[in-house]
Amino acid sequence: MNGLDSEAQNVRQPVAFAVRELRVDAAHAGQRLDNILIGLLKGVPKSRIYRMVRSGEVRVNKHRARADYRVQAQDLLRLPPVRTGERSVAQPPPITLQVLFEDDALLAIDKPAGLAVHGGSGVSHGVIEHLRASRPQARFLELAHRLDRETSGVLLIAKRRSALLALHAQLREGRCAKHYRAVVRGRWPLRTKTLNFALDKGMTGSGERVVRVAEGGREARTRVTGLAHAQPAELGMLSQVDALLETGRTHQIRVHLAHAGFPIAGDRKYGDFELNKKLEKRVYKRMFLHALSIEIMHPSEGRSVRLEAPLPEDFERLVPACTQEPR
């Protein structure tokens, strides 16, 4: 049975094929299932790929799997019949992305709020598509982790497969210190409290993905420190907080803070909708969550590297706070 690399190289012209089964080799272990499929099924719209995963047309070891499942060496992938091939795709419009750090193995950027990290689910282009279009000479560019579309801040991109695997291992094993800043509704005390609520993924009646606090869910811990309070006219009491992720679950900070009674300002999914309306009237049209910093071991040099994205001006205008990061 052919490995993934040889299968991917065979995809050139539009072709319809029958069911295929592929064995994951060691070089591709640790990658997300959706990224594997996007590489294999060139020319297939990402919306179609995600539908195939959700519907169970794609199987891993004869079972359904989520798009964010990280494949393991020797996993058996089943791909349904689908027409592939290179298709004419509009290039992403040029944008300026602030580079925080770059060397031969790693690229860190300050992702703007409102920009998705990748295309799909109604989004034509994301950060990774923009980077690949602006750097056609780059042989390898892959997201090392993800940020929600409305979250700004530090985003890591691997420039080598070895760097990607090393970063994935650090993130998976909790060996990265990730600090976020948020503005929340209410008066969070000027001290540290750990939120320890198990989380589970689900769907609303309309088919929208949501994350909920649930018994039996995956363990999730967020250490939250109050930094400052303010009470802007008509907005009520707001607090600026630092959130240190001790685990890395989907929407973890947003759901934890909302469940604790301190929803993030501007959060359209889990937030206070009346507060959000008032913020929009005052021209604050973003979610107030920012990936402030991440500390990692450099994937090829083995030294500690701390990367920081400046706090957006909106945060300080809304709730001025100290700039010293909590210990």
User: Parallel, antiparallel, or unpaired for β 76-79 and 152-158?
Assistant: unpaired
Q: Point out the catalytic residue in the list 148, 267, 272, 314.
A: 148
Q: Is residue 89 included in any domain, yes or no?
A: no
Q: Do residue 201 and residue 102 come from a single domain?
A: yes
- Determine the structural domain holding residue 8 and report its residue range: 4-83
Q: Do residue 232 and residue 106 come from a single domain?
A: yes
pTM: 0.75
How many domains would you assign to the chain? 2
Q: Do residue 19 and residue 113 come from a single domain?
A: no
The answer to whether 84 and 41 have CB atoms below 8 angstroms apart is yes
Exposure b/e, 201-237, CB count within 10 A at least 16 = b: beeeeeeeeebebeeebeebbbbbbbbbbeeeeebee
Q: Do residue 122 and residue 218 come from a single domain?
A: yes
Measured CA angle at 153 (ends 162, 70), to 5 deg = 40
CATH number at residue 53: 3.10.290.10
Q: Do residue 11 and residue 56 come from a single domain?
A: yes
Q: Is 110 a catalytic residue?
A: no
Q: Do residue 188 and residue 264 come from a single domain?
A: yes
Q: Is the pLDDT of residue 2 over 80?
A: no
User: Using one digit for the tens of pLDDT, what is the confidence trace for 64-100?
Assistant: 999 889 999 899 999 988 876 544 455 666 678 899 9
User: Using one digit for the tens of pLDDT, what is the confidence trace for 129-140?
Assistant: 889 888 888 889
> Domain end: 83, 115, 144, which one?
83
Q: Do residue 130 and residue 278 come from a single domain?
A: yes
User: Using one digit for the tens of pLDDT, what is the confidence trace for 257-301?
Assistant: 999 999 999 999 999 999 999 999 888 889 999 999 999 999 988
